[in-house]
Amino acid sequence: MKKLILIGRSESGKTTLIQALRGEKIEYKKTQYVNNFDVLIDTPGEYIQTHHLGAALAMYTFEARVVGLLLSATEPYSLYPPCCAVTANRTVIGIVTKTDHPNANPKRAEAWLKLAGCEKVFFTSSYKGDGIAEILEFLKEDGDVLPWEINEKE
C-alpha cells in the first residue's frame, strides 16, 4: 500500500483514524511523538500548530507517498493556508473527520481542504467506520489484498 502521513491539529482525529484504518479498537491516545507504522505515519498536532516544528513535518512527508491533511468537521477555522498543498511533492488528500458529530459541518471543512489544494477529499467517522474503506482503496496498490477481499479470492 502507499504510505500515508496524517497531518492535522491536536484533537482532529489523526490517531483515532489510524486505529480505524488498522482495524484496531478505538481508544483515545494522545500522540506525543511521530509514530511510524507499516504504511501509516501519525504526527502530533503540535507539529502543525507550532511554526518552528513545521520543518519537521516537511521532513517526515518524504517518508510517505501520500500526505493526508485532516480537518475536523467541527472546526470553526482551518490552519491550512490557501494552496499550501503545492509545496509537497507528494499526492495531497484531504480527510474530513468527525462527520458524525452533532455540530459537524463537513461541507465547510471540505471547502477549506480544497482551498488548501487537496486533490481528493474523504469524509470519515472513525467510530462508525464511515470513509475507512474508501481511504484504504485509495492507498491500495497492485497486488494488495484488503481484508474484505480475502473471501472473494477463495
CA atoms of 93 and 17, how far apart (whole Å):
14
- pTM, rounded to two decimals: 0.90
Distance, in Å, from the CA atom of 138 to the CA atom of 135, rounded to the nearest integer, reads 5
Grid cell listed for 70: 485532516
**32-65, pLDDT tens digit by residue?**
778 788 899 998 888 777 776 777 777 788 889 9
